[in-house]
């Protein structure tokens, strides 16, 4: 499977969007998308963490777990790497960039349990990506997630004054909007095939 990192980056944003076609990161997507500003903050945080942890987890998996024969521990090790990285990032941002901390920092604890981060790490292993491909896929997925949550937040802002059937309010209507967005993204499929 030889697919260039550049193509993979774009494919991760459009044809195999992490949220709209792989359904990862739905929990925080549905709960945070009420405001555009906070969606942007969370999206940027996801993008940074996703790019960094996909690189870290690739190194940990191929340089430590495989040689040591501990592949079956991958789930626990990945989670620990992600949690440790998020904690570290939080400390660094708080110490050196307080302004950034106020826009981004509050979302960092939410990220450890965001399944998009963990899911991408698992995808890299299952699809056997090289290091360059992994970083490209991680960064592309992060931007794809940011794009999806920004679109939903924008639509939900407009939806505030609209009348929605009672039982559908909140999560229900957000899921339907996401479905329509996913339908639109099917238009991109077939340009490249990432498996």
Partner 1 sequence: MTKKEIFLVSAFRENSVWKQILGICSSLAVTNLLMNSLIMGLGVIFSVALANFTISLIRNWTPRSVRMMVQTLIIGSYVIIVDIFLKANMPQISKQLGPYVGLIITNCILMGRAEAFAAKNNPLDSFIDGLGAGIGYTLVLLAIASVRELFGFGTFFGFQVLGSWWTKWSIMVMAPSAFFILALFIWIINNKYYKVKA
- Binding string, residues 2-41; x marks residues near partner 1 by CB under 8 A: ------------------xxxxxxxx--xx----------
In the complex, least distance from residue 92 CB atom to partner 1, rounded to whole angstroms: 20
Q: Which one of 36, 150, 151, 182 is in contact with partner 1 (CB under 8 A)?
A: 182
Check binding of 123 to partner 1 (CB under 8 A): yes
Segment interacting with partner 1, rule: CB under 8 A, options 52-60, 100-108, 110-118, 155-163: 110-118
DSSP per position, the chain: ----HHHHHHHHHTTT-TTTTT-TTHHHHHHHTTSHHHHHHHHHHHHHHHHHHHHHHHHIIIIIIHHHT-GGGHHHHHHHHHHHHHHHHHHHHHHH-HHHHHHHGGGHHHHHT-HHHHHHHHHHHHTT--HHHHHHHHHHHHHHHHHHHHHHHHHHHHHTTS---GGGTTHHHHHHHHHHHHHHHGGGTTSS---
Residue number, 67 or 167, with CB nearest to partner 1: 167
In the complex, least distance from residue 99 CB atom to partner 1, rounded to whole angstroms: 28
Q: How many residues bind partner 1 (CB under 8 A)?
A: 42
Residue number, 30 or 150, with CB nearest to partner 1: 30
Q: Which one of 64, 70, 176, 191 is in contact with partner 1 (CB under 8 A)?
A: 176
- Token pair 């924008």 in the structure block, residue: 154
Question: Are the CB atoms for 150 and 39 separated by under 8 Å?
Answer: yes
Residue number, 48 or 123, with CB nearest to partner 1: 123
Check binding of 81 to partner 1 (CB under 8 A): no
Asked whether the CA dihedral 174, 180, 184, 190 is positive or negative, the reply is positive
Contact positions vs partner 1 (CB under 8 A): 20-27, 30-31, 72-76, 79, 83, 113-115, 118-119, 122-123, 126, 165-173, 175-176, 178-180, 182-183, 186
């Amino acid at each position: 499977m030889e697919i260039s990192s550049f193509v993979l980056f774009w494919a991760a944003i459009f044809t195999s969007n992490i949220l709209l076609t792989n359904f990862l990161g739905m929990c925080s997507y549905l709960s945070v998308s009420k405001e555009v500003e906070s969606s942007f903050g969370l999206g940027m945080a996801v993008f940074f963490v996703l790019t960094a942890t996909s690189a870290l987890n690739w190194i940990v998996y191929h340089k430590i777990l495989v040689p040591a024969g501990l592949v079956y521990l991958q789930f626990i090790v990945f989670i620990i790497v992600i949690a440790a990285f998020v904690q570290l990032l939080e400390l660094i941002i708080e110490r050196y960039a307080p302004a950034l901390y106020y826009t981004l920092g509050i979302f960092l604890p939410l990220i450890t349990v965001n399944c998009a981060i963990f899911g991408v790490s698992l995808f890299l292993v299952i699809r056997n990506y090289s290091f360059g491909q992994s970083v490209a896929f991680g960064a592309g997925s992060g931007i794809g997630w940011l794009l999806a949550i920004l679109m939903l937040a924008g639509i939900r802002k407009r939806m505030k004054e609209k009348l929605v059937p009672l039982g559908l309010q909140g999560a229900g209507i957000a899921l339907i909007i996401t479905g329509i967005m996913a339908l639109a993204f099917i238009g991109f499929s077939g340009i490249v095939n990432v498996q």
